[in-house]
Amino acid sequence: MNLEFSNKGVKGCVSSAFSYMLRNKTEVLRQSYVAAIVSAIATGFYIYLLLPSESLHQIATAHPMVALGSFTFAILFSALSSIWYFSRLLGCVTGNYAIIFKRSLLSCLLITIVLQLVLLCGNMLLMGLWKIIDTHSVISQTAFEIVKLLFVLLYIIWLLPFCYSMMRYIHEKELPVGSIFRQLYVEGFKHKGFIALTLFVLILICSVVLVIVLMPGLILILEYLIHEKGLAMGDPNSLPHNFPFLLYPTLAVLFFIGQYVLGFCYYTMYFVYLSIKKRVDEKAKATIHRS
C-alpha cells in the first residue's frame, strides 16, 4: 500500500500516523501481532532480569557464565524482536516485509556501532578533561558540568538526522547503506528542527499514554523493589512465592499494548520521512527549473 503524501508539518505527520493506524487497524494488527507478542515477551524478560533479585543474584554468583549468557540472550532477543516488529509495521505500508527487515537490521547495527563509538570517544575526552582540571575549584567543576551538558545536547542534535536517513534507506532499496551517514544524513540535518519538534510532540503524547497503559506493571515493579529492599534489610518475605509468575506475564501483556503506542511513533516518523523527502524533491525540481 503506497501512500501519496504532501509536504506536511508536525501536526500533519502526527495526525496522518494516527489516521493510518485507525483506518488500517485490522491489517496492522494482523500483520504485526505475532511480532508484537514476541517483542513484548522479550522486553518483559529483559526488564525482569534487570530487576534486583536475591535468587537471581545467587544464581549469577554460582554460575557467572550462565548469567552472562542469559543476559546477552535477553539483549539480543529484545533487540531482534523489536526490529522484527518495526519491520512488520512499516511493511504494512509497502508490503516489502523481508527487505525492510534486512535493511532495518543492517542500519540499526551500523548506527548502534557508530553511536557507541562516539559515546566512547566523548567519555574518554570528558575523563581526560576531568583529570586535568582543578577538581577542588567550584568554577572548574561548574565549567566541567556545562561541558558535559553541551556534549549531551550536541549528541542529541547529532542523532536527529538518523531518524530520516535510516527511514529513507529502509524504504528505498536502491540506496547504499553508506548513504545513511552521507547525503541522507545531510538532508536530515537540514530539517533537524522539524524532526526535533515532531519527536518532542511524540514524547509528550506517548509518555502520558504509556504511563497510563503501564501503570499496573509500574505498581507491581515498585512493590517488588520495596520487597527486595526490605529483604536486604532483614524484613520477612511478604510476597507470595508465585509473585514472579504474576509479574512477568503482566509485564508481557502491558508491553504488548505498549508496542502499538510505539507503533504510532514509528508511523509518525515514517510520515516525517515522506514530508522531508517531498521537500527535498520539490527543492531539487525548483533548482532544475531555474537553471
- Domain membership of residue 15 (yes or no) is yes
Domain encompassing residue 112: 10-290
Mean pLDDT of the chain: 86
| pLDDT digit string, tens, across residues 99-139 | 999 999 999 999 999 999 999 998 888 888 888 876 677 78
pLDDT at 208 exceeding the cut of 80: yes
Q: Mean pLDDT across the stretch 199-210?
A: 93
**CA-CA distances (angstroms) from residue 91 to 15, 101, 150, 158, 170?**
20, 9, 38, 28, 10
Please tell me the distance from the alpha carbon of residue 163 to that of residue 169, in angstroms, as a whole number: 10
Q: How confident is the model at residue 238, as a pLDDT?
A: 66
Which of 37-46, 85-94, 136-145, 201-210 has the lowest average pLDDT? 136-145
Q: Average of pLDDT values for 210-218?
A: 91
Residue with more model confidence, 118 or 54: 118
Q: What's the pLDDT tens digit per position in 88-100?
A: 999 888 888 889 9
SS (H, E, C) 17-83: HHHHHHHCHHHHHHHHHHHHHHHHHHHHHHHHHHCCCHHHHHHHHHCHHHHHHHHHHHHHHHHHHHH
Return the C-alpha cell found at 223. Answer: 512493590
1 is a domain residue: no
Task: Answer whether residue 4 is part of any domain.
Answer: no
Domain for residue 276, yes or no? yes
Residue at 3 is within a domain: no
Q: Name which of 45-49, 256-260, 270-274 the model is least confident about.
A: 45-49
Residue 43 is assigned to a structural domain of this protein: yes
pTM for this model (two decimals): 0.84
Looking at the structure of the chain, the number of domains it has is 1
Is the confidence at residue 1, as pLDDT, over 50?
Answer: no
Domain contains 155: yes
Q: Is residue 5 part of a domain?
A: no
Least confident of 3-12, 29-38, 104-113, 191-200: 3-12
Q: How confident is the model at residue 2 (pLDDT cuts 50, 70, 90)?
A: very low
